[in-house]
Structure 1
Amino acid sequence: MNFFAHLVLAEPTVESRVGNLLGDFARGVNQHSLTADVLQGLINHRRVDQFTDQHPQVLQMKRSFTTQRRRFAGIALDVLFDHYLLKHWSLYSKQPKQQVVNDLYRDLLAGQSMMPERMQQVTLRMIESDWFRAYETLDGVAYALERVAGRIRFGNNFGGVGEELALHYPQFETGFKQFLPDLIEQFSSPYIADGKADQTGG
């Protein structure tokens, strides 16, 4: 799962949201220096990632990628899952999406002092450029992944992965809708009441 989903699966506190996002920036961080709530958020992030990586629907989706891009399929799906969660938000939560996004951005600003420097830089760019709004379109997802590809420090074929997401978009969307209720059943969210999403809409 990517930034939006990890924040949605955090407790509605600054410390928990920082911790649940810290998993992507934790290299070199002294865990003993973290408060209990931030550390618990970090642990939750890692459990969510492990559950996601081992889920049968996710494993099936990864096999749909071409062999040259399969190594990075998990990264591509993480951002795509944020896209689907934002796109179908009204299926899973009664709380207004924009208000939720605003709350998340507000708490990330409030938690800057708890973050390592790189996380501060990324979250400020996230807020200033409104990444979650960008993730609502497939073009926005593809652009974000191109930026990831450009930061990989070794030769790779990850660039252009948006073409594969477009090719398999309906299949991946169906897989996401089958996967997410299992995730929510395993990990509570203050925004989603239970794992039984209303699949009749959207």
Structure 2
Amino acid sequence: MASWLSAWPCMNYLAHIYLSGNDQQILCGNFIGDGIRRKESMHFSHGVRRGIELHHFIDGFTDHHPETENARKLLRPVLRKYAGVALDIYFDHFLGAKWNQFHEQALEHFAHNCHGLLDTFEPRMPEKSRRFYHYMKAHNWLVNYRDMKALNTVFAGMSRRSRFPNNMHIAVELLEVHYEELGAHFERFFPELQRASSRFLDQK
């Protein structure tokens, strides 16, 4: 990822948290995994380190999968270097919108429980993760990414904060134009990511 994009943390936290399964330590490690170096991870428990490793596995699998590569090609003429960042958010939108296909618990209850788990881990979070967690929780991103109005707010804020010219302010419009095609990419990609993540966690 280009250095001028690395200031933004991973933006698809609903997917990361969902793929952590039922292990609290793995979930917490997965949440803070963005930007944690291997040397820094040694300060945490085995379970949290495993979650950090899972985070990087998910990112690598996603970045190199043919479905996400094709989806980024669709977005790149308009969003350029920001296509991958936007796609992370789009795919969390589709996961939230299709939540009942993937989880028996209502998304609102799932998010509430995840916030409770992360609250207990917050004192041990790196400062960057803690600041982002406060913002994510306050704006209820785990639930609200499924809502187009909320996405407009997220992308508009990202556009303003960027030091470089960008078209993030029209990212929701772009999502609406290509909604069916991007949704199809998600439908083909996400089950493969689920299976790959499960296999990764099965490796002790």
Amino acid of the structure 1 residue aligned with 2:140: D
Work out the CA distance in 1 between the residues paired with 2:26 and 2:118.
10
Identity %: 28
- Which of 38, 41, 45 aligns to 2:51? It is 41
Whether 1:86 aligns to 2:84 is no
**Number of positions where the alignment pairs a residue of Structure 1 with one of Structure 2:** 189
Which moved further from structure 2: 94-103 or 46-55? 94-103
Q: Give the TM-score normalised by structure 1.
A: 0.84
**Cα root mean square deviation, aligned:** 2.2
Q: C-alpha displacement at 1:94, in angstroms?
A: 2.0
Work out the CA distance in 1 between the residues paired with 2:104 and 2:192.
19
Q: Once the two structures are superposed, what CA deviation does each residue of 1:117-170 show, in whole Å capped at 9, x if it has no partner?
A: 121121122222212232111222232122223333334343322221121111
Residues 107 and 143, structure 2, Cα contact 8 Å, conserved in 1: no
Residues 13 and 107, structure 1, Cα contact 8 Å, conserved in 2: no
3-state SS, counterpart of residue 166 of structure 1: helix
Cα 1:39/1:101, change in 2 over 3 Å: same
Work out the CA distance in 2 between the residues paired with 1:102 and 1:170.
30
Gaps of at least 5 residues in structure 2 are 1-10, 200-204
Gaps of at least 5 residues in structure 1 are 190-202
Residues 10 and 16, structure 1, Cα contact 8 Å, conserved in 2: yes
- Which of 131, 150, 166 aligns to 2:160? It is 150
Structure of higher RCO (CA pairs closer than 8 Å, 6+ residues apart): 1
Residues 76 and 83, structure 2, Cα contact 8 Å, conserved in 1: no
Residues 25 and 119, structure 1, Cα contact 8 Å, conserved in 2: no
* Counterpart for residue 196 of structure 1: none
Which moved further from structure 2: 17-26 or 50-59? 17-26
